[in-house]
């Protein structure tokens, strides 16, 4: 397993997920809730791709194939967790925008 490739995959996929989530928030601010929901679904799909790469690492380690830990791999995990947190917070913000629009 090429750790640089795995790390870059995690960074790219989780970055795509984070970008889509922030695009969803921008649409919610404009009142385009259908588009916001669509973008959040895309964000979750992109995050799932990143999460699969992380799961592959965990599975490999569980089978005795210890990954080489380096700064790039640690950085990729930071990207993954930041994307997850962004999605969670943005979902709440979109909910608040929807609630405000309903009043």
Q: Which residues are catalytic?
A: 75
CA atoms within 13 A on the CB side of 93: 18
Task: Supply 74's token pair.
Answer: 């640690």
Provide Rg for the chain, Cα atoms: 16
Q: Spell out the residues 6+ positions from residue 6 whose beta carbon is closer than 8 angstroms to its own.
A: 53, 56, 57, 67, 73, 76
């Amino acid at each position: 397993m090429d750790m640089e490739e795995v790390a870059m995959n995690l960074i790219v996929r989780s970055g795509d997920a984070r970008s889509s989530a922030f695009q969803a928030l921008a649409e919610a601010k404009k009142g385009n809730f259908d588009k916001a929901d669509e973008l959040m679904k895309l964000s979750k799909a992109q995050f799932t791709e990143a999460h699969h790469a992380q799961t592959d690492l965990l599975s490999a380690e569980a089978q005795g194939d210890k990954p080489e830990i380096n700064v790039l791999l640690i950085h990729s995990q930071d990207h993954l967790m930041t994307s997850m947190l962004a999605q969670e917070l943005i979902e709440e913000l979109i909910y608040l925008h929807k609630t405000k629009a309903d009043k």
